[in-house]
Amino acid sequence: MNLVMFDIDGTLTATTGVDAQCFVQAVNDLFNIKDVDTDLTSYKNVTDEGIAAEIIEGHTGRGATEKELTDLRRHFVELLREEAFSNPTLFYPVEGAGEILDKLVRHPDMEISLATGGWRESAILKLEAAGLNTKNLPMTTSSDALSREEIMILSEERAQSAYNVNAFDSVVYVGDGIWDVRSARSVGYHFIGVGKDDGASRLRDEGAVHIIPDFTDRREFFNILETLCNDQHLGGTKTER
């Protein structure tokens, strides 16, 4: 049995833009920080919890408190919910994502889990607003762990429990960010990148071998999956740079 582990923003849902917009606004509203760095590669942990903690620490000169992080998370989710109500067109699935998930659910040799750097409440909101049915899939988020590597490993463990599997034959992570490539390589997972144009170039420069623009070509996606799941060695990223 193999596990296909999905990121959410930019991978299953095309919500990267509205997510960043609401996050920056929430930080500004609560902490009056107007110069939030939106280059995610500049942060140690590219997760909502990690980014929030680093921004608050940089602004205050001390560690973020639990209350500050909780208040920020709640306000961020409120802003997202308002946007989903007033601008629903900003929340839509990456093309073909719903069909791929449906096909994987029925696949005899594949199971699915979700592993995202977003907070749980915002992740669920974006998936539902985009019309993706993922309620029965094990999900691990930034609400569970600080680093992407920890989130991925915990996602695998939860999938083992959910699907009553002692160990998966292989794990393939599907993501859109260079931090996804790095984290997948770090924990020893295969990797499939989702990106177009500059996004695809960045993934390739980071070492991603298998990159798709979206999920419209289901045959291509499953051919890559087959190749990686049959590979005994780390696949999907270049191990030598």
Cα–Cα distance between 239 and 227 in angstroms, integer? 17
Task: Specify whether 165 is located in the same domain as 85.
Answer: no
> What range defines the domain where residue 66 resides?
16-89
Task: Specify whether 122 is located in the same domain as 152.
Answer: yes
Cα–Cα distance between 5 and 36 in angstroms, integer? 30
Helix residue spans in 96-188 (DSSP H) = 97-105, 120-129, 148-162, 178-187
**Selection from 8, 236, 27, 44 nearest residue 126 by Cα:** 8
Q: In the listed set 67, 89, 111, which residue is the last one of a domain according to the structure?
A: 89
Q: Are 145 and 151 in contact (CB under 8 A)?
A: yes
Question: Is the predicted pLDDT of residue 237 greater than 90, yes or no?
Answer: no
The total number of structural domains in the chain stands at 2
Query: Do the domain assignments include residue 240?
Result: no
In the chain, % of residues over pLDDT 70: 96
Q: In the listed set 42, 68, 89, which residue is the last one of a domain according to the structure?
A: 89
Task: Specify whether 72 is located in the same domain as 140.
Answer: no
Q: What are phi and psi of 85, to 5 degrees?
A: -75, -45
Q: Are 100 and 13 in contact (CB under 8 A)?
A: no
Cα–Cα distance between 195 and 9 in angstroms, integer? 12
DSSP 8-class letter at 109: T
Task: Specify whether 74 is located in the same domain as 107.
Answer: no
Question: Is the predicted pLDDT of residue 235 greater than 70, yes or no?
Answer: no
Q: Report if pTM > 0.85.
A: yes
Query: Do the domain assignments include residue 73?
Result: yes
Cα–Cα distance between 78 and 74 in angstroms, integer? 6
Please tell me the predicted confidence (pLDDT) of residue 231.
Answer: 77
Task: Specify whether 69 is located in the same domain as 131.
Answer: no
Structure confidence by residue, pLDDT tens digits, 172-216: 999 999 999 999 999 999 999 999 999 999 999 999 999 999 999
Task: Specify whether 129 is located in the same domain as 77.
Answer: no
Structure confidence by residue, pLDDT tens digits, 99-135: 999 999 999 999 999 999 999 999 999 999 999 999 9
Rounded mean pLDDT, 85-98: 97
Task: Specify whether 22 is located in the same domain as 135.
Answer: no
Question: Is the predicted pLDDT of residue 147 greater than 60, yes or no?
Answer: yes
DSSP 8-class letter at 65: P
Q: In the listed set 73, 89, 105, which residue is the last one of a domain according to the structure?
A: 89
Task: Specify whether 85 is located in the same domain as 97.
Answer: no
Task: Specify whether 45 is located in the same domain as 103.
Answer: no
At 148, which CATH number? 3.40.50.1000
Question: Is the predicted pLDDT of residue 138 greater than 50, yes or no?
Answer: yes
Structure confidence by residue, pLDDT tens digits, 27-66: 999 999 988 999 999 999 999 999 999 999 999 999 999 9
Rounded mean pLDDT, 155-173: 97
Task: Specify whether 165 is located in the same domain as 182.
Answer: yes
Angle at alpha carbon of residue 140, lines to 211 and 180, rounded to 5°: 25
Q: Are 208 and 219 in contact (CB under 8 A)?
A: no
Cβ neighbours for 56, distance < 8 A, ≥ 6 positions apart: 31, 63, 64, 68, 69, 72
User: Which helix H or strand E contains 139, and what residues bound it?
Assistant: strand 139-140
Query: Do the domain assignments include residue 109?
Result: yes
Question: Is the predicted pLDDT of residue 238 greater than 70, yes or no?
Answer: no
Radius of gyration of the chain (CA): 17
Task: Specify whether 175 is located in the same domain as 104.
Answer: yes
